[in-house]
Amino acid sequence: MSTENRSQPETSSGEEPAPQAPKRRVGLLAAVALAAVALDILTKVLVVSNLEGREPVKLLGGLVYLQLVRNPGAAFSMATGMTWVLALVAIAVVGTLIWFAGRLRSAGWAVGLGLVLAGALGNLIDRLFRAPGPLRGHVVDFISVFAPNAEAFPVFNVADSCICVGGALIVLLSVLGRDYDGTVRGRK
């Protein structure tokens, strides 16, 4: 047998072996989620301790304002009386993403879903552990863009940003034909 043939594994039928599937990306998803949740918690702790009772802090010439807002609902003041429903939805999202994580074989999808997981967890932590109580806690928001007091855009936090960036990444990967299992569709 020549050296060339030894470098390629042989099969009993003489066919080439099937390509190996990409490795699972659970660790990457977990690392992204943990880092982003830690950043979300840290920023909320800093905001609550430094901005409570203060006027909005103007940054970047008024492009960004930092201000403490305790949000009982979702963006644009939707579902303000439904905090417990939002908490249950977040629990379902977190559970589904954890269940789905073992199927991930794409690094891009792992990062995207890790960010979505972090965002859901970050806001869920607030809804579970902040006043007025479990499943009714108000989310700490603190970033207002273009104008203070949500005059131009809803006030948001790191968790909200993670959900948006992660969702956008997933949509982009889907449009490009990159699947969660590491395969690429539509290459011609």
Which residues are marked as active site? 141, 160
The C-alpha angle 150, 114, 107, rounded to 5 degrees, equals: 130
In whole angstroms, what is the distance from residue 160 CA to residue 123 CA? 8
71, 141 in Cβ contact below 8 A? Answer: yes
**∠ at Cα 59 (57, 61), nearest 5°?**
125
Q: Kindly state the DSSP code that residue 74 receives in the 8-state scheme.
A: S
Distance CA 141, CA 71 (A): 7
Q: Hey, how many other C-beta atoms are within 10 angstroms of the C-beta on 173?
A: 17
